[in-house]
Structure formats: C-alpha cells, structure tokens
Amino acid sequence: MRFGSKLTALFLAGACLGSARSASAKLRVVASIETLADLCREVGGDRIEVTSLSHGYQDPHFVEAKPSLVLSLNRADALVYVGLDLEIGWLPPLVQQSRNPRIQRGAPGNVDASTGIKVEDVPNIPADQLRALGDIHPLGNPHYWIPPKNARGIARVLAQRFSELDTAGTTAYQAGLAAFEHRLDAKEKDWEKTAAPLRGINVVTYHKSWSYVAEWLQMREIGYIEPKPGIPPTGNHTAQLIELMRKSNVKLVIVESFYPSSLAKFVADNGHARLVSAPSDVGATPAIKTYFDLVDAVVRALVSGL
Amino acid sequence: MPPAGDDPSVSREGFTLQEIEIAAQSAIDPYFEGAVFLTIPNLAGLEVEEAYLVTTSLPFNLQLKGGTFRSQFGRNNTMHLHMQYFTRRPLMTSLLFGEDGLRGPGAQASVLLPLPWFATLYAEAFSLTPPGDLAGVATFGGGERLTPDNLTYTAVLEQFFELAESHSLLVGLNFATGRSVDCPLGVPCVAPAAMEGPRSYLYGGDVYYKWKPANVAQSYASFQWTTEFYVRTLADGGPSEGAGYSEAVVQIARRFYLGGRFDLTGLPSGPNVPRRYGGAGSLTFAPSEFSRVRLYGQELGGPGVQSTTVGFLQVEYSMGAHGAHPF
C-alpha cells in the first residue's frame, strides 16, 4: 500500500471509528446550554444520553472553557449548540481539542439549533462598523430558545438530526417530537392567556436578550440598561434611560437572573417600574428542570411584576 | 539580560508599537483546521509567529499538528502576547527558551489519554535556528538544522483537575532536549556551523490555579495563579541553571484586573543564568471584549547589579471576529 493510500485509510479509519456505535447503545448528545439539553430529552427520550456543558445560572456568553468539558465532547455522537456566535468565546477551542470527528463543523453530529428558527436582529450595517455597536452578534440575536414557536423549530431540527445519526430510532424520535409538540400546543395557549396583561406594555431589559420573548408576548422594548451589547452601563446612559422610562410609562425592567441586579433595581426604582429578575435557561434555579418549567417561570415572573 | 523578542523595552523610552498581530483561522477541509498568525514586533520586520495545520479526524484520540508554532512546553510559552495580563514576558523566557520562546518549524503529535480526568500527552520535534542575538545564550538552536541529532524534542503531560465548580487546577510536566548554542555569554559568535554546543536538557513544571464562580450574579471576582520553574542542564557536565516565575491576577471588578508577578533567575545560578529578581505589577482595564488599557511597572535587580525600574502604559485592541478564550 502506498503512503498516500495508508494515510487515506487512516483518516477513513478515524471516520469509521468515530461513527462506530452499537445498535443498542444510546446516542450520546452534548448540548451547550441546559434548555437545549432538555429539548433533546423531549425528542430523544430513552434513546439518548444528554449532558450540558453549562449551567442555567451561568451567562452563556462566558462559560469557562475548562479542559474537563473536552472529555464530554470527546465521547459525543452529537453536539447541539445555540449558534449565531453565542458560544464563540468558549466552544470552538473545546470542539477542536475534543479530537472527535463526529461533532466537527460539517459533520452530521454538529447541530446548530438556530437553523430551526427565524433569526431576528441581524445587523444591517457594514462589517467594519459592527464593533462600534458593542459586542453584538453579527449573525443575529442568539437569545431565541424561550418562545414556543422557536422551541418547536429546534425540536424539529433535533428530530431530523437524531434520525440521521440513529436511523433505527427514527420512529421513536418522530414520536418524541409529536408528543412534545402536542404538549407545547396546549401549554402555549395557557402561557399566552396568562401573559395577556403584558400585551402592549413598555419594558426595559438589561441585555438585548428578551427580544424574542417580547415579540411573542407583544411587549415593546424601549431601551436597554447596557448602552450597547456587552458594554457595562455608564452613569450618563443610565440617567437618560431613567428619563426615557418616566416619559414612556415603562412597567417592567427585565434582567436575567445571572446578572447582578443592583443597578437594574436602581434603574427600575428611579424609572417608576418594577424589577423582574427572570430565569433564561433551564437550571437557573433548582426548581426549573425542564423547558416547560422555564417558560412557566418566565411568564409567572413577568406577570407578577405588573 | 536579553529581552524577549516581543519585549517593548528595545525602544527605551517614548512611544512604541509593541506588536501587531494579524490572525486568520479556518477549517481547511473535513480533516484539518488551519491558522496563521503574522506579527510585527516593535515595528521591525514581519514574523510568522505561527502557521500550522491541525488534524480533527484522527482515530484513537490522536491529533497531529504541523507547521511553525509555539511549543506546548509550559504555560506562558503557549500564549500570544495579548493573552497575558502583563506587558512583558517572564525573565526566564529569553534565558532558557530563546528570544521568541520555544517556537519554530516542527511537528506535534498528541493524544488525549483514556483517563477519568483530562490528561493530554504531547510529543514535539522542532528545527530551531540559532538566536538572532548572538550575545545571548539559548538552550536550543545550535548546529545543523535538519538532522535528527540536531532537532529539538519536547514531551509535555498536561492534566486538568476540577477541584470544585469554581476551583480548577491545570498541571503541566515538561521536558525538552536539543543542541545548545556554543556561545557563552559575552563572547562573539559568528558561523552557525561552529555553534553546535552540547546537548541540553530543560525540564520543569507549570501550575495554573483558577477560582471563578460560575454564577456572576454573585460576584465578578476571580483569581488565577500561575507558577512555572525550569532547570537546564548540559550533557558535558556544565552547570545546571534554573529560572521561573510566579504570578497572580485578581479580577477586582467586571472590567478591572490587578496582577503581580515575581521573577527569579539563577536558581541555581551559573555563568549564563545569573541570579536576578523581578517584581512586576499591572492594572488592566478592559472597556470591552476588544480593548484593554494597562499600567505596568517592574523593578529588576540582583546581587552586584544596579536596580532598574521600568514602566509602561499599554493599549491593546483587536478588530474582527470575537476571539475565543482558551482556559
């Protein structure tokens, strides 16, 4: 065998080894955040084994790229991530270090959940001006996983990819998806009914991470405590925001529970609004164990703030 | 004491542009990822700091890397300048590794060991050229470049232990051997062929500890501590000489970092690695993920030499895509 053929054989062996999985073994899935991990469980049921790289009480932009996470990725059959550059600061080096061809870019096991949703807030400005707007996400707003229509889109992507990776489980994945959507349809009506008082109210949020929720529940975002994404608030901006809030009858200041709430409370108090520290991921508190728990908690927190 | 190649002190006083780095990273195909890092240190000449391919699809948890790149040896040596919280590199860098650290054209094979904790074993071979500053002494780079006898070889074992959710420990054991440059301190050297010195051995360890709560709602505070120490010996029975440093960085607010570093060279001391001390402090303000402003001061001294104080006001910025933050 010539050297070139041997090298090719080595790569193919790697690819084959990478995809080797006994028919009875569970599909090993690693998700970048806990909400995606739970949606994987909803679709995959007993056929998959899921772990999350981050916890729901962490800021998903700034997860520590600990080498221990490489071990989970090394054994994974699929990596499910939010995409739109949310994890750009920590996930790419871990994936490269994983030495796992199954989850590299372009591989079937590399699952970008954002492909299942309609992406909002894609900046329409020249690339060389992007950073003047702060640490924005050039591919669009990645904080999309809470509204039911997006969860539905993510679940469909998961069912399709899991079926490709584990063809024997196609029926089970489709059944998991159908059961999830059936339950989601019912819950969606409940949530929208409960959240009816939120329609049309003006809100301020800490980071631009509630836009999809605001659109779903028909709230109007009129400002952000961060002057620009990723840029901590300044005194001048805070004063202007409070002035705007007073003029605009802002009802709620919404902040993710992983951000310090002292400044948000100051803004809310002085802007004559109520502060809502809301969870944004499964696992944000011990009681939030599933996607349904998460949306229940978000809707409850927002309505109770009125 | 020779400065590192990316040290700003060559300008003595006034303004300088310590380093410009142009970086490109991309998937090459389903089997490789590639990276190129071009630098211009102190506005003097274009250098290829790194340009390499790394495999993504080999079996048995193997990974190969080829090109010109920074050795996995130690912790600071793997870092590009902008990843440090200090303006200058540790004093040991130029004394033991060479003016640009341990980097050059070579190949690396590594394997993620099948253990319950993260442990990776690296083996590398480099073709290292003699140092540009011949007044200095380098551990590696002597003699012919391409014969196996003159290559520089390294072996590194890197292990990570998650002590608790907020407490992490990274430990590295490092060994390297190559041809030293037969050019004692202060003696002019000329032809590279004449500089093939005895085989040198460099060994030591690095420890990195980090405390950072996962939930920043509690606090933005974090703490990281790094210590490295290495000893060089020569095959012909020459003196063993050692150097190292210990540094700590405390995040005192969301955008402020306070750092301190203590350097010690010459433990044990010898003609090429004299006893010297360095104490450095830095205060870094990061307005955003893409810029940093740093105040840096350092006091250098040692037996029989006059103390020197240096200070820098440094501004760092990056353009383009958001970079990753390796652990």
Question: Does residue B3 sit within a domain?
Answer: no
CA–CA gap between residue B261 and residue B283 (Å, rounded): 12
Taking residues A74-96, what's their average pLDDT?
95
Q: Are residues A18 and A128 in the same domain?
A: yes
- What is the model's pLDDT at position B146? 73
Q: Are residues A222 and A186 in the same domain?
A: no
Nearest to A68 among B162, B212, B217 (CB): B162
> How many domains are there within chain A?
2
Q: Per-residue pLDDT for B74 more than 60?
A: yes
- For residue A101, what is the domain's CATH number? 3.40.50.1980
Asked if A266 contacts A217 with a C-beta cutoff of 8 angstroms, the reply is no
pLDDT-based confidence at residue B326 (cuts at 50, 70, 90) = confident
Which position has the higher pLDDT, A8 or B92? B92
Q: Under an 8 A CB cutoff, do B217 and A104 touch?
A: no
Domain boundary residue, one of A159, A190, A221 = A190
Task: Quick: pLDDT tens for B81-101.
Answer: 999 999 999 999 988 998 889
Which structural domain, as residue segments, surrounds residue B232? 54-317
pLDDT-based confidence at residue B181 (cuts at 50, 70, 90) = confident
Q: Per-residue pLDDT for B213 more than 70?
A: yes
Taking residues A266-283, what's their average pLDDT?
95
Question: Does residue B31 sit within a domain?
Answer: no
Q: Are residues A248 and A160 in the same domain?
A: no
Question: Does residue B283 sit within a domain?
Answer: yes
Question: Does residue A206 sit within a domain?
Answer: yes
Domain boundary residue, one of A175, A190, A205 = A190
Mean confidence (pLDDT) of chain A: 91
- Of these ranges, A133-137, A228-232, B35-39, the one predicted with the greatest mean pLDDT is B35-39
Question: Does residue A3 sit within a domain?
Answer: no
Taking residues A127-150, what's their average pLDDT?
88
Mean confidence (pLDDT) of chain B: 89
Nearest to A257 among B30, B168, B217 (CB): B217
Question: Does residue A223 sit within a domain?
Answer: yes
CA–CA gap between residue A155 and residue A159 (Å, rounded): 6
Q: Are residues A165 and A41 in the same domain?
A: yes
3-state secondary structure of B91: coil
Q: Are residues A206 and A255 in the same domain?
A: yes
Query: Which residues of chain A lie closer than 8 angstroms to B288, CB-CB?
Result: 134-135, 230-231
Q: Are residues A249 and A160 in the same domain?
A: no
Asked if A257 contacts A205 with a C-beta cutoff of 8 angstroms, the reply is no
Query: Which residues of chain A lie closer than 8 angstroms to B30, CB-CB?
Result: 101, 104, 106-107
Question: Does residue B177 sit within a domain?
Answer: yes
Q: Per-residue pLDDT for A17 more than 80?
A: no
Burial A53-69 (b: 16+ CB within 10 A, else e): bbbbbbbbbbbbbbbbb
Q: What is the 3-state secondary structure (H, E, C) of chain A?
A: CCHHHHHHHHHHHHHHHHHCCCCCCCEEEEECCHHHHHHHHHHHHHHEEEEECCCCCCCCCCCCCCHHHHHHHHCCCEEEECCCCCCCCCHHHHHHHCCCHHHCCCCCCEEEHHHHCCCCCCCCCCHHHHHHHCCCCCCCCCCCCCCHHHHHHHHHHHHHHHHHHCHHHHHHHHHHHHHHHHHHHHHHHHHHHHCHHHCCCEEEECCCCCHHHHHHHCCEEEEECCCECCECCCHHHHHHHHHHHHHHCEEEEEEECCCCCHHHHHHHHHCCCEEEEECCCCCCCCCCCCHHHHHHHHHHHHHHCC
Query: Which residues of chain B lie closer than 8 angstroms to A93, CB-CB?
Result: 324, 326
pLDDT-based confidence at residue A199 (cuts at 50, 70, 90) = very high
Match 């520290």 to its residue by tokens: A277
- What is the model's pLDDT at position B187? 56
Structure tokens at A82: 């939010």
- What is the model's pLDDT at position B144? 66
Question: Does residue B134 sit within a domain?
Answer: yes
pLDDT-based confidence at residue A24 (cuts at 50, 70, 90) = low
Question: Does residue A155 sit within a domain?
Answer: yes
Q: Which residues contact B161 (CB under 8 A, 6 or more apart)?
A: B117, B168, B169, B170, B171
Question: Does residue B21 sit within a domain?
Answer: no
Query: Distances from the Cα of A271 to the Cαs of A246, A257, A259, in angstroms?
Result: 5, 20, 19
- What is the model's pLDDT at position B214? 87
Query: Distances from the Cα of A21 to the Cαs of A105, A160, A268, B67, B193, in angstroms?
Result: 20, 19, 54, 34, 55
Strand partners, B159: B119, B171
Q: Are residues A16 and A144 in the same domain?
A: yes
- What is the model's pLDDT at position B188? 57
> How many domains are there within chain B?
1
Nearest to B61 among A74, A88, A134 (CB): A74
Q: Are residues A18 and A153 in the same domain?
A: yes
Question: Does residue B39 sit within a domain?
Answer: no
Task: Quick: pLDDT tens for B184-203.
Answer: 555 555 555 456 788 899 99
Q: Are residues A50 and A126 in the same domain?
A: yes
Question: Does residue A2 sit within a domain?
Answer: no
Q: Are residues A155 and A32 in the same domain?
A: yes
Lowest mean pLDDT among A115-124, A131-140, B293-302: A131-140
What's the longest Cα–Cα distance across chain B? 62
Question: Does residue B205 sit within a domain?
Answer: yes
Domain boundary residue, one of A139, A159, A190 = A190
pLDDT-based confidence at residue A19 (cuts at 50, 70, 90) = very low
Q: Under an 8 A CB cutoff, do B30 and A106 touch?
A: yes
Q: Are residues A25 and A144 in the same domain?
A: yes
Among the listed residues A93, A130, A264, A211, the one whose alpha carbon sits nearest the alpha carbon of residue B289: A130
- For residue B258, what is the domain's CATH number? 2.40.160
Query: Which residues of chain B lie closer than 8 angstroms to A105, CB-CB?
Result: 27
Q: Per-residue pLDDT for A276 more than 90?
A: yes
Q: Are residues A33 and A157 in the same domain?
A: yes
Which structural domain, as residue segments, surrounds residue A292? 195-304
Q: Per-residue pLDDT for A7 more than 50?
A: no
Mutation target among B28, B58, B117, B251 for the A interface, most CBs of A within 10 A? B58
Task: Quick: pLDDT tens for B92-135.
Answer: 998 899 888 999 999 999 999 999 999 999 999 999 887 766 55
